[in-house]
Chain A
């Protein structure tokens, strides 16, 4: 088979592995991504997996990107097709001129192939079976053998893979040598039987630098450790379970008393999400820093408690790793679909603080900051992650901490303060106009500072009251407190286009890398856009001024109903016509191509139709 124009690219292509889940392919595929990183070439890997343990299709995609575009690109240049179940779809998804790598042990009819791609057959099963007898070994080493073949085909340095094996199997010499052996088995076969390398090649570069490779869930969990969380209560739910697991793993290494070996933390796997948030609220009420990790269905279950946290003013941190909803939705697919559910969670009038990290580095920072914010503002803080950030390794700047940083424990009245002459303690008394009252921890003072916490209405001294004026006074103070929060949460970041422009774009969270890349694509099409990345709700005043400064602002998000746009319109009194929704919600991560095409088409259209006609 000869292909007209095979794709030729160095350090800029997409490889996708199609596997059956439970086959042990994940670690081999991750090794592939790490090996490319060790060449000094940035990668952006993504796990596309089913809500299942064994037998269903799973994909692992590695975007090799010397330019450092870490968003999903879309399209596949090299498909490693190891799953007969998804063969047809996988083959169809390859770009024209792309490559198909498959196990050629059993012959396949020519109708199963395409003529516009290069087909690379390696008899993986035959090689494996002639080398190994144990079925489990055959399964696992087959993955390493294809890794070896790819090394040859993509011109990768096998020494770098061997070094990774060495780190992974430190002290397990037998495992190390058998993996190295399998790697070379595949590599040698490819070198002897195939034309190596392909048009796609990995070439050593120096584009990774100091950056680290970490999953957002692990980074957020580490942020909780650094932020002083001592109580974690959670209930297993994809894609947040690995966050709680990571918290446990980090604590095991970092939070045991060196003398006694005892734990300076408590982790409870609750019986459900209601218990998890209840434990968090009980612990926070009693002066510990506590959090839970969950996803959409968990948020639905927690809403009654979230209302209590808002109204009784008890700190809580909820790390929401969003997945596609509603209902069970697509549990292993990504979306930014809980914006409204979290911003207004609970019955009655409530508003909550949301933080939107763009990557693991920000997930770490915001997670740590969320405990300061929760205690300062005495309310629930949502850390809005999603599956794309949470469960994929992402290349990001190293995690940073300032050793001089102290925790902000907020307005807590101590026994000494209560004893000061003339000191007046009212649990819901706004002493300085910021809407934030003082609280006391239980057990503080024998005769002063105790109060009865309740979800019912009460006066400034925490005494039960159903008086209208007393209730409204309290609700007004809560609005004041929310306004105070506006200047405490991370501010939006603005980046202006090279040339002055009438158009802007607002985006947030995991959309970030795709958006950054899309800006370049749009510039190439002649479209200039100023950018504003929102990092928190309540919105800083710069959001409204950014919108005021542009004729049109695109709002890019990963949900159907333009939830962030709704929130901006609702909270800032913006004319909805000014905000053009760009929505991606099929459960795959948003891509630069999608954003550039959607905005580009809209811009092209604007050039033809006068503005007034387009909106009338």
Chain B
């Protein structure tokens, strides 16, 4: 009797049609049926939509319709990612979107519908992304995570992917609460802040930006989901950065953390936002045409030719000084301020592939002839073992 006969309950489904969801197509089909478990976006293109250098419109960078709460900060980040990818004229399918588990980790389904996405395991996005990156160094890696995902269950993986210098854009959509499980504090919630139910948080907060700086991230930024003009160029610059680029985006949870007493609410962040600079990302080799006032701008050239023009808000802030950034951050945090902007960038950054000295050809494209030493080598090995 080889193998086990399937259980009696399973038989009930055998031969039964699995209804309308069984039709081909990626996201056109599927809203039929009583229980709607995902929402496809209609493929309607306005003929006059502007196109980028590659001929793609904004719509080509969109994904499914978000199932997050109306007004969620995460949806603004999704929009910013779409905007950044459109502006950079990235081929949408050359991005790999990888996330963990949680509200933030659902969002990769809502942008870049022609990219492969991977909604992996809670807190484990960094390791999955690291492996994916090792397999194919030619794609763009976008890691999307949340504060529960990265500061609690996945704190270790966050830290180690940063210290290895994996070439990625690592975005934490930081709202200070566990949204999907209805509002428990996360590890980024500030000490003394209040939950929606009025409970005071007595644990100290983890500042992921401070940790990323300490661990050697070569690009560190913080932004606010409500400030698209600041966020979009930061994401663009991070994507074009070679190495571990980390962006902490404060993204208020409209359902569970947008009340008085919260330090992650829209009102609180607007009032306490201490932006150190504004960023212009200049792709291509053309000279900077914007007329900046002398001394008001810091220019950083990245490896791939992008120029980052940092319009200074804080005149003394130097985005190339890791130590100063760490001190600045601590001083302002003590005053209850949320420091935002491009906080640190290393123009001479490198990544895990350069540390491992791997071949230029992506490892997933190597074939048996590249990888297998063959019988003659094996005979020599056998001879050495006698």
Q: A274-B124, A444-B93 are in contact. Are A265 and B363 (CB under 8 A)?
A: yes
Confirm or deny: B300 has a beta carbon within 8 angstroms of a beta carbon on chain A. no
Q: A230-B366, A263-B357, A476-B6 are in contact. Are A290 and B18 (CB under 8 A)?
A: no
Contact A266 B157 (CB under 8 A): no
Q: A226-B373, A401-B378, A447-B114 are in contact. Are A272 and B135 (CB under 8 A)?
A: no
Confirm or deny: B139 has a beta carbon within 8 angstroms of a beta carbon on chain A. yes
Q: What 1/0 mask marks residues of chain B from 139 to 166 whose CB sits below 8 Å from any chain A CB?
A: 1000000000000000011011000100
The winner among B12, B38, B92, B127 for most chain A CB atoms within 10 A is B127
Report Cα–Cα, A113/B39, bound state, in Å.
Answer: 83
Q: How many whole Å from A567's CB to the nearest CB in chain B?
A: 11
A interface, size bucket: 35 or more
Q: A264-B363, A403-B374, A446-B92 are in contact. Are A544 and B1 (CB under 8 A)?
A: yes
Confirm or deny: B24 has a beta carbon within 8 angstroms of a beta carbon on chain A. yes
Confirm or deny: B26 has a beta carbon within 8 angstroms of a beta carbon on chain A. yes
Instruction: Tell which of B10, B96, B119, B159 touches A442, judged by Cβ atoms closer than 8 Å.
Output: B96
The winner among A265, A286, A441, A465 for most chain B CB atoms within 10 A is A286
Contact A443 B37 (CB under 8 A): no
Contact A572 B124 (CB under 8 A): no
Q: What 1/0 mask marks residues of chain A from 380 to 422 whose CB sits below 8 Å from any chain B CB?
A: 0000000000000000001111110111000000000000000
**Please, which residues of chain B bring their CB within 8 A of the CB of A270?**
127, 160
Q: A226-B373, A263-B356, A401-B375 are in contact. Are A426 and B24 (CB under 8 A)?
A: yes
Q: A231-B131, A274-B124, A541-B2 are in contact. Are A262 and B358 (CB under 8 A)?
A: yes
**Please, which residues of chain A bring their CB within 8 A of the CB of B135?**
230-231, 282-288, 290
Confirm or deny: A245 has a beta carbon within 8 angstroms of a beta carbon on chain B. no
Report Cα–Cα, A305/B122, bound state, in Å.
Answer: 10
B358-379 residues with Cβ-Cβ distance < 8 A to A are 358-360, 363-368, 370-375, 377-378
Confirm or deny: A88 has a beta carbon within 8 angstroms of a beta carbon on chain B. no
Confirm or deny: A560 has a beta carbon within 8 angstroms of a beta carbon on chain B. no
Q: A225-B373, A399-B382 are in contact. Are A282 and B6 (CB under 8 A)?
A: no
Instruction: Tell which of A214, A275, A406, A464 touches B385, judged by Cβ atoms closer than 8 Å.
Output: A214
Instruction: Tell which of B4, B133, B353, B359 touches A260, judged by Cβ atoms closer than 8 Å.
Output: B359
Nearest opposing residue in chain B for A218, CB measure? B385
Confirm or deny: B94 has a beta carbon within 8 angstroms of a beta carbon on chain A. yes
**Please, which residues of chain A bring their CB within 8 A of the CB of B138?**
443
Confirm or deny: B285 has a beta carbon within 8 angstroms of a beta carbon on chain A. no
Confirm or deny: A440 has a beta carbon within 8 angstroms of a beta carbon on chain B. yes
Q: A288-B364, A459-B21 are in contact. Are A264 and B359 (CB under 8 A)?
A: yes
Confirm or deny: A109 has a beta carbon within 8 angstroms of a beta carbon on chain B. no
Q: A466-B35, A469-B16 are in contact. Are A286 and B372 (CB under 8 A)?
A: no
Report Cα–Cα, A541/B159, bound state, in Å.
Answer: 48
Contact A288 B164 (CB under 8 A): no
Contact B130 A463 (CB under 8 A): no
Q: How many whole Å from A354's CB to the nearest CB in chain B?
A: 15
Q: A226-B373, A455-B121, A486-B2 are in contact. Are A469 and B18 (CB under 8 A)?
A: yes
Nearest opposing residue in chain A for B98, CB measure? A282
**Please, which residues of chain B bring their CB within 8 A of the CB of A463?**
21, 27, 30, 37-38
**Please, which residues of chain B bring their CB within 8 A of the CB of A308?**
120-121
Q: How many whole Å from A35's CB to the nearest CB in chain B?
A: 13
Instruction: Tell which of B33, B37, B93 touches A450, judged by Cβ atoms closer than 8 Å.
Output: B93
Q: What 1/0 mask marks residues of chain A from 93 to 110 whose CB sits below 8 Å from any chain B CB?
A: 000000000000000000
Q: A286-B132, A440-B116, A467-B19 are in contact. Are A271 and B157 (CB under 8 A)?
A: yes
Q: How many whole Å from B264's CB to the nearest CB in chain A?
A: 27
**Please, which residues of chain B bring their CB within 8 A of the CB of A486?**
2-3
Q: A282-B129, A452-B108, A466-B37 are in contact. Are A228 and B26 (CB under 8 A)?
A: no
14 pairs, A vs B, C-beta closer than 8 Å: A226-B372, A263-B358, A275-B126, A283-B363, A305-B121, A308-B120, A401-B374, A442-B96, A451-B117, A454-B118, A461-B22, A467-B37, A469-B13, A470-B21
Interface residues of A (CB under 8 A from B): 37, 208, 210-214, 222, 225-228, 230-231, 233, 254-255, 257, 260-268, 270-272, 274-288, 290, 304-305, 308, 398-403, 405-407, 424, 426, 440-447, 450-456, 459-461, 463-470, 472-473, 475-476, 479, 483, 486, 538-541, 543-544, 570-573
The 3 nearest A-B residue pairs measured at CB: A282-B131, A278-B127, A288-B135
- Contacts A233-B127, A268-B164, A571-B4 aside, 17 further interface pairs with beta carbons under 8 A come to A225-B371, A262-B357, A264-B366, A266-B356, A270-B160, A276-B127, A287-B365, A399-B378, A406-B368, A443-B96, A443-B138, A445-B93, A453-B120, A465-B21, A465-B38, A470-B22, A473-B18
